Amino acid sequence: MTDGLPSTGDLLELEIGPVAHGGWCVARHEGQVVFVRHALPGETVRARVTEEGKKFLRADAVEVLQASPDRVEPPCPFAGPGRCGGCDWQHASLPAQRGLKAAVIAEQLSRLAGIDRPVVVEEVPMPAEYGDDGEPIVTPPGLGWRTRVQFAVRGDGAVGLRRHRSHSIEPIDECLIAHPEVELMGIERKRWPGASGVEGIASAATGDRIVALTERRGRDRRPVRVPRLDVPVRLVRGRAEPGASLPYVREEVAGRLWQVSGSGFWQVHPGAAGVLVDAVLTALEPKPGDIAVDLYCGVGLFAGVLGERVGRDGLVVGIESDGQSVRDARFNLKDLPQVSIESGKVEEVLADLEFGRRTQPRPAKRGKPAGRADESRVKRADLVVLDPPRAGAGREVVDQIAKLAGRKIAYVSCDPATLARDLAYFGERGWALDDLRAFDAFPMTHHVEMVATLVRG
């Protein structure tokens, strides 16, 4: 310690308080806040300081003096202080993990949005899967679910996962939360010289598998040597030409096949996409003839299921900025003429968008054919669904949605803090939270998926 203050490397005996957002628990040492990993509320631990901030410390619990009844032995040998940073809660039972996530959501809603309500995090069941021999594939609860895994590569080509809040790589030979189809590729047991990242991508529904590579940049750049694998491998950045056709996997949800190219966005838990589709449809209650908008639409999942519900007399507009995802969405939904996918930033496309009943939208300033003439053009949609990245929608987009939406809004979020912030913005504009559902789509981690339903207050 320096001048009586803890410094990096010091050991502190701490009584652990409530959970905090991001996989931490909160403790205090002589009045100073300490965010502690690898601990649980109610425990007494010895923790090693890992970072010093101006107002708080960060630490890892390295010895448990008094354990919580919710503590379990982490199943992964690479989990623990100073090891792999991919999982936050392997030391907690699965019911306890869901309770911790519910507490974080409730705290963020109360603190950032002034909304006080009980929260329950629902389990996301694994769909039934069968091997080539027809026998069911059984994975231990909470493990074997992640169908997209981004591995980091050391300079010598060894594969691993990054340690928490570090660029250091923890070499591994198996990831227990990775889906069996990802593990069958054998990525961790190969060398990948010249690559900085390797992503294993598998579809639990169709069995499709691909590997997406990122080449090393700067002074360390050298040709990537690809080991022999029985799946397609492609550079998705670096030497990959812009707009190039990428290998893809096919996903199956809501009775449709969805093409997802390269490392494009898709829910990583095999059961999550279906659960979220059901939650969004329950939230919005779409009717034939409705106009709906799907913001940050990715490969068109919500746009597609809404398009089927609103029918040929309705209209769905999806908006997405990633070019490859736009191409996938248009391919996936080519059989639904009532669905239009617009390419561009959400705030820019929304500013230009107008709708006419039973017409295509008029994409002003985009150089595309206008929709059929219609005297009843409006800048209003009956329904809006948005699934923004972790940073959330933000004030400008919330302003636009609050003016655009007519009946209901479904906000899909993977971050309690940015969701709560945006709900506060919606509240200022006359939209109230009607319902909130949360789903444990990322067992063993602090991440969670949520669907908030908003109506005019």
Check whether residue 279 and residue 343 sit in a common domain.
yes
Instruction: Take residue 361 and report the two structure tokens written for it.
Output: 């939208």
Question: What pLDDT sits at residue 291?
Answer: 97
Q: Are 239 and 276 members of one domain? A: no
The answer as to whether 21 is a domain residue is yes
Residue 277 and residue 408 in one domain: yes
Is residue 106 in a domain? Answer: no
360 neighbors 374 (Cβ within 8 angstroms): no
Q: 284 and 235 in one domain?
A: no
Residue 369 neighbours by CB distance under 10 Å: 9
φ, ψ of residue 28 in degrees (nearest 5): -135, 140
- Please indicate, yes or no, if residue 115 is contained in any of the structural domains: no
Look at residue 112 and tell me if it is in a domain: no
* pLDDT tens, position by position, 409-421: 999 999 999 999 9
Catalytic site residue 87? no
Q: Could you give the C-alpha distances from 2 to 8, 30, 49, 108, 301, in angstroms and in order?
A: 10, 14, 13, 34, 55
pLDDT for res 373: 35
CATH number of the domain residue 62 falls in = 2.40.50.140
Contacts 24+ apart (CB under 8 A), 2-8: 5/32, 6/32, 6/49, 6/52, 6/57, 7/49, 7/52, 8/49, 8/50, 8/51, 8/52
Lowest mean pLDDT among 53-57, 158-162, 269-273, 371-375: 371-375
What is the pLDDT averaged over residues 165-190?
Answer: 94
Residue 371 above 70 pLDDT?
no
Which of 33, 55, 83 finishes a domain? 83
CA dihedral 266, 272, 278, 282 (to 10 degrees): -100
* Residue 92: inside a domain: no
Question: Is residue 192 within 8 Å of residue 228, measured between CB atoms?
Answer: no
Kindly report which listed range (246-255, 338-347, 396-405) carries the lowest average pLDDT score: 246-255
Whole-angstrom distance, CA of residue 101 vs CA of residue 93: 12
Residues 6+ apart with CB under 8 A from 179: 144, 145, 146, 147, 202, 204, 270
**282 in the same domain as 219:** no
Residue 228: domain span: 148-248
Confidence of residue 370 (pLDDT cuts 50, 70, 90): very low
320 is in an annotated binding site: yes
Residues 281 and 408 reside in one and the same domain: yes
Asked, for residue 196, whether it belongs to a domain, the answer is yes
User: Is 425 assigned to a binding site?
Assistant: no
In a domain, 291, yes or no: yes
| Average of per-residue pLDDT across 371-382 | 60
Total count of domains within the chain: 3
For 378-382, what is the mean pLDDT? 84
Report the amino acid identity of residue 231: V
SS (H, E, C) 221-288: CCCCCCCCCCCCEEECCCCCCCCCCCCEEEEEECCEEEEEECCCCCCCCCCHHHHHHHHHHHHHCCCC
**34-43, 154-163, 224-233, 361-370: which has the minimum mean pLDDT?**
361-370
Q: Which amino acid is it at 412?
A: V
**How confident is the model over 212-261, as pLDDT tens digits?**
888 888 777 777 888 877 776 765 554 444 445 578 999 999 999 999 99
Angstrom distance (rounded) from CA 342 to CA 297:
10
Per-residue pLDDT tens over the stretch 114-173 = 999 999 999 999 998 777 677 777 889 999 999 999 999 998 999 999 999 999 999 999
CA-nearest of 23, 55, 51, 28 to 39 is 23
Q: How confident is the model at residue 278 (pLDDT cuts 50, 70, 90)?
A: very high
The pLDDT of residue 374 is 41
pLDDT exceeds 60 at position 431: yes
Q: Hey, CA dihedral for 183, 185, 191, 195, is it positive or negative?
A: negative
Q: What is the CATH number of the domain that holds 429?
A: 3.40.50.150
- CA dist 146 and 156 (Å) reads 26
Query: In this predicted structure, what is the pLDDT of residue 423?
Result: 98
d(CA 267, CA 179): 13
**Pairwise pLDDT comparison (372 vs 365), residue with the higher score:** 365
Task: Mark whether 36 and 167 lie in a shared domain.
Answer: no
Q: Is 318 helix (H, G, I), strand (E, B) or coil?
A: strand
d(CA 342, CA 323) in angstroms, rounded, equals 10
Among 273-277, 294-298, 348-352, 441-445, which is the least confidently predicted range? 348-352
Compute the average pLDDT of residues 173-197. 93
Report the relative pairing of strands 291-295 and 381-386 from DSSP bridges.
parallel
Percent of the chain topping pLDDT 70: 91
**Quick one: 229 and 313 in the same domain?**
no
Tell me which of 40, 56, 83 is where a domain ends: 83
pLDDT at 379 over 60: yes
Last residue of a domain, one of 52, 83, 114: 83
pLDDT digits (tens, 9 = 90+) for 306-326: 999 999 999 999 999 999 999
Q: Would you state the structure tokens that stand for residue 318, as one six-digit string?
A: 């999806």
321 and 352 belong to one structural domain: yes
Residues 337 and 403 in one domain: yes
What is the residue-wise DSSP string for 121-135? EEE-PPPP-B-TTSP
Beta-bridge mates of residue 48: 11, 60
Asked if residue 377 and residue 284 are part of one domain, the reply reads yes
Asked if 194 and 277 sit in the same domain, the reply is: no
The SS3 assignment for 293 reads: strand
pLDDT surpassing 50 at residue 184: yes
Residue 193 lies in a domain: yes
* Inter-helix orientation angle 416-428/94-108, to 10°: 30
Q: Which pLDDT score is estimated for 372?
A: 37
